[in-house]
Structure 1
């Protein structure tokens, strides 16, 4: 191990010599940092940074040699395969060809307590047969894809969304590492579920945190995220979006509030963000929804005319 040369993985890819290869950044409020880069063949090593980093080779077929903190490897990547880089480790990696990589960094300043509780260091890096080189996880791949889409829709998503997505990925890493996670025991108790849902309703316009919800349930954030999904059927991030959509629909139907004000009322930074999320969840714009619920006959006539 060496002392960190940069304050974060994000800073390294802003100021280091690989910065010019970055094609897109998605920030989750500093809680998580995502980027996509098209990197050349040759030395693509990173300095020691206080971040726990997942790299995904988008296209596969590249030979990688090096050490990311779990031991030396020499592998040819598969499409969508992952590489895991240890925090505070000056890694070494040589790429045999140019490649497209998507990286997700967990800053230790935000995640150390979660890693300690989940026993990530021991459960993960003590399994070099899994994490020395490339590995696969459809669950992690799906989680990162959803997180990337959320960032594309919302810009900087809420801290609750970012933390909940992070806990999902941590849980999957632990399972891959052979950790035996305690069952969710049927989800939240009725009183905890009620208090959490009430708090989410009451503070829908605010950037409420997963830690605040977990405190209502008297659980650690790591276990709360798993038990919330077990008890309510969806992760906290999905449930929050559902509540926001329900509130937005109600305001569109029963008030004359401008769409910009409705966006702020339900916790989105602008009407453009609301429109993107609304289109994805309701298959129409907020304005079209308002017309549809108030003038259903007119909307149907317009659709028939178009057909």
Structure 2
């Protein structure tokens, strides 16, 4: 592969002629970037960038030639097909038709240590993935769409959401590439479960990360996420959301705080974000919930 580049995939798309092709961007502080681009036919080659990029073809029926890090390709594209583009590689891309893509970019510097912990020291961005080949994966497509939908609901994803979703997708890519990450060894020990729950209850309004939680129980973030789910039945992100919704319910019941203030108190950037999350979990808006619990006869 070529020498490492400092420019990220998202930064490259933000400047010059390519900026006009970007239709949407969801970002999380450098942990991952989701972009949707709509581009015309032609040469879309780019320099080496420091991100591994997973691309989903939203239209299909195109013709793709070039090299995405795994050797020369010349193929027809299919709607929903996925391709992994190598990091730190100057790609050659000639598209025979206009196209629309959703891309998920992983800065290798932010993910290498996390995945190395999951592979017990054997992980490599050079050898753990298959680059430049079109493939199908309902599991990855579903994870991408869930991540995009969550970002639509909650804005830029939290660190916990970005890391958990990223680990899930990258682990599946490793498995498909023939280099599966090591499975989790059972659930958390009772003391570890108790400590994590205490920490999440104390810091539920913060942008807590997998590293923060995993460090408390001396596990790699990758293994911690899987062991947490085995112990508590849901991923850390879902558990944290439930804590936030529960606290919002308490504040709606017991205080006269404006909903905007309650959103900030429980860790959301705006009352609209709280409303979307609240409706999803409680099947009613925060204001409807407040009326229902305070005057049940009129609900």
TM-score (norm 1): 0.90
Deviations 1:153-177 (A, max 9, x none): 2222221111111111111111111
User: Greater shift after overlay, 270-279 or 198-207?
Assistant: 270-279
CA distance in 1, matches of 2:25, 2:132: 27
Consecutive unaligned residues in structure 1, runs of 5 or more: 300-307
User: 1:268 and 1:60, CA in 2 relative to 1: closer, same or farther beyond 3 A?
Assistant: same
CA distance in 1, matches of 2:106, 2:57: 18
Question: Does 2:217 align with 1:217?
Answer: yes
Q: 1:283: which partner in 2?
A: 283
Cα pair 1:6 1:47 within 8 Å, conserved: no
CA distance in 1, matches of 2:191, 2:254: 31
Question: Does 2:37 align with 1:37?
Answer: yes
Cα pair 2:82 2:136 within 8 Å, conserved: yes
Deviations 1:14-68 (A, max 9, x none): 0143221111111122211111011111212222111111111012222211111
Cα pair 2:53 2:85 within 8 Å, conserved: yes
Question: Does 2:241 align with 1:241?
Answer: yes
CA distance in 2, matches of 1:278, 1:18: 37
CA distance in 1, matches of 2:175, 2:2: 28
Give the SS at the match of 1:97: coil
User: Greater shift after overlay, 281-290 or 107-116?
Assistant: 107-116
Q: 2:198: which partner in 1?
A: 198
User: Greater shift after overlay, 202-211 or 67-76?
Assistant: 67-76
Consecutive unaligned residues in structure 2, runs of 5 or more: none
Deviations 1:256-300 (A, max 9, x none): 22212211111111212111211222222111111112222212x
Deviations 1:216-271 (A, max 9, x none): 12101111112222222222222211211111112212222221221111111121
CA distance in 2, matches of 1:114, 1:147: 19
CA distance in 2, matches of 1:232, 1:122: 35
CA distance in 2, matches of 1:97, 1:16: 21
Matched length: 295
TM-fit CA distance, 1:121 = 2.4
CA distance in 1, matches of 2:183, 2:2: 37
User: Greater shift after overlay, 98-107 or 77-86?
Assistant: 77-86
Question: Does 2:46 align with 1:46?
Answer: yes
CA distance in 2, matches of 1:247, 1:79: 42
User: 1:180 and 1:109, CA in 2 relative to 1: closer, same or farther beyond 3 A?
Assistant: closer
TM-fit CA distance, 1:6 = 5.5
Question: Does 2:128 align with 1:124?
Answer: yes
CA distance in 2, matches of 1:134, 1:16: 28
CA distance in 1, matches of 2:226, 2:39: 36
Cα pair 1:28 1:151 within 8 Å, conserved: no
Question: Does 2:257 align with 1:257?
Answer: yes
Correspondence list, 1:8-47, <5 A: 8-47=8-47
User: 1:101 and 1:71, CA in 2 relative to 1: closer, same or farther beyond 3 A?
Assistant: same
Question: Does 2:241 align with 1:268?
Answer: no
CA distance in 2, matches of 1:87, 1:33: 14
TM-fit CA distance, 1:97 = 0.9
What RMSD, in angstroms, separates the aligned Cα atoms of the two structures? 1.7
Give the SS at the match of 2:14: helix
Cα pair 1:43 1:94 within 8 Å, conserved: yes
CA distance in 1, matches of 2:175, 2:167: 12
Cα pair 1:53 1:87 within 8 Å, conserved: yes
Cα pair 2:68 2:93 within 8 Å, conserved: yes
Question: Does 2:155 align with 1:155?
Answer: yes
Cα pair 2:5 2:50 within 8 Å, conserved: no
